[in-house]
Amino acid sequence: MSVIFENSRFFRQQGYINGQWVDADSGNTFDVTNPATGEVIARVADMGAAETARAIDAAEAVQAEWAALPARTRCNRLERWYQAILDNRKELGQIMTVEQGKPIAEAIGEVAYGASYIKWFAEEGKRVYGDIIPAPMTDKRNLVIKQPVGIVGAITPWNFPSAMLARKLAPALAAGCVVVAKPAAETPLSALALAVLAEEAGIPAGVINLVTGMDAPAIGSELTSNPKVRKITFTGSTRVGKLLMEQCAGTIKRTSMELGGNAPMIVFDDADLDIAIPGALAAKYRNSGQTCICSNRIFVQDGIYDEFIERLKSEVEKFSIGNGLEEGVTHGPLITEAAALGVESKVQDALEQGARVVTGGARSENGPCFFQPTIIADAVPSMRVFREEIFGPVAPIFRFGNEEEVVELANNTEFGLAAYFYTENMNRMWRVSEALEYGMVGVNETAISSEVIPFGGMKESGQGREGSRYGMDDYLETKLICVGGLDRK
């Protein structure tokens, strides 16, 4: 086992509980593999329910003290953490590329993106306001205050291993909550590196705890069943999200769920293709298609269908796939060989039902985890690429005739996370935006995500919002204080 960052202070292979770097009770480890090369880059502590319970106890021991700190004190520490991440973003990006596969520029960009949430909530945490409600009687006053919900259990995915953790830790800590987090087993190193910097920035022991392990059901069950944990926040599949919500019902925990997506991108005849084509490229192929808000289904109106495909093909064939650390590489591998096989099966299903490959369409010679950037034309709703989240660099292009038809097609899914459309018609902008059943809609834009917007979905894509001022709400309880007897002298 050899890795380029093995001498880095950020390279940790133990869990982080109560400010200590600890092995699994069993002494067992699991391998973390570079998907571009197949090389084992780390052997990380394989923890389970017992270690999770201790992490929860460590969090409980400091919850009251952390919550009692002045908001400015908590937020000043977050500011220091934010700056430390920015100062080390290149090295953090290298770690991410090696464990997750995305090109180095994209990885460094993700580190900065995740840090932006820490900066935002470091500022927003000082603006948690209450209210005074006019009382129905003269001898009473009704005061409303906001208090931290308590210990938060956070479960994060492998596709954005730094940003998804920061997006949960930042509002929780700013609100006065402490966290026990489980990073994805495929990509734990980015999370552990963030903990190193959090400690250096003055975040006290026990405020952030990271439990690493392959036994997700055991760790998750402890988080959902333990009554000391008052909230679960999860980013991942709808199937797992539903299971976690069921488990949380026993103790009536608060939940925030950012789940699966099946994002439509609609291109009307009057769209400006000079912006629609770059938008499609960014939305579909970012992170090799492994994003929950990528354009899973691309609907193009009859009048520009062929032109759109030809122009998209011309740009896609400029991509360079390979090891994300190599110069000039634009797209890395999928996270595992199983993921590549899953994408291949969806493409094969489409071809069997009459679709045609415009470019790509197969696994790449670069390695077992690589899949060629692909465009499929003549896609129809009976195909798996219409119903299922592809999570790979495959763009299925569907033809449509009119606005009513395409809105119905776009909404024909149990998911409702993000949607995009391109048009120059102002009336259509409003009609379609309001008709689409999605939590986020991009009009002539696909780069919609930032720390200032409320990120989240409708229907089976989840509940709650991350980012923006709304992102604090999920970590706060609203309490009424009714003061009576005020007419006495």
Residues with a catalytic annotation lie at 258, 292
Which amino acid, one-letter code, is at 459? K
How many angstroms separate the CA atoms of 171 and 187, rounded? 22
Residue 133: what are its φ and ψ, rounded to 5°? -100, 130
Quote the tokens at residue 224: 């959902």
Q: Would you state the structure tokens that stand for residue 460, as one six-digit string?
A: 């089976």
Q: What is the helix (H) or strand (E) element at residue 342, kind and residue range?
A: helix 337-352
Instruction: Give the integer Cα–Cα distance in Å for 65 and 206.
Output: 11
Residue owning tokens 């190599």: 326
H or E segment at 84? helix 71-87
Strand ranges across the sheet with 462-463: 20-22, 15-17, 208-210, 179-182, 151-155, 229-235, 254-258, 462-463
Burial 43-64 (b: 16+ CB within 10 A, else e): ebbbbbbebbbbbbbbbbebbe
Tokens describing residue 301: 């109106």
The candidate with the shortest Cα–Cα distance to 439, out of 255, 256, 275, 171, is 256
| One-letter identity of residue 372 | Q
Taking each helix axis as running N to C, give the angle between helix 403-411 and helix 426-435, from 0 to 180 degrees, rounded to the nearest 10. Answer: 30
CA angle, residues 250, 255, 259, in degrees to nearest 5:
120
CA angle 451, 296, 303 (to 5 degrees): 110
Q: Are 201 and 119 in contact (CB under 8 A)?
A: no
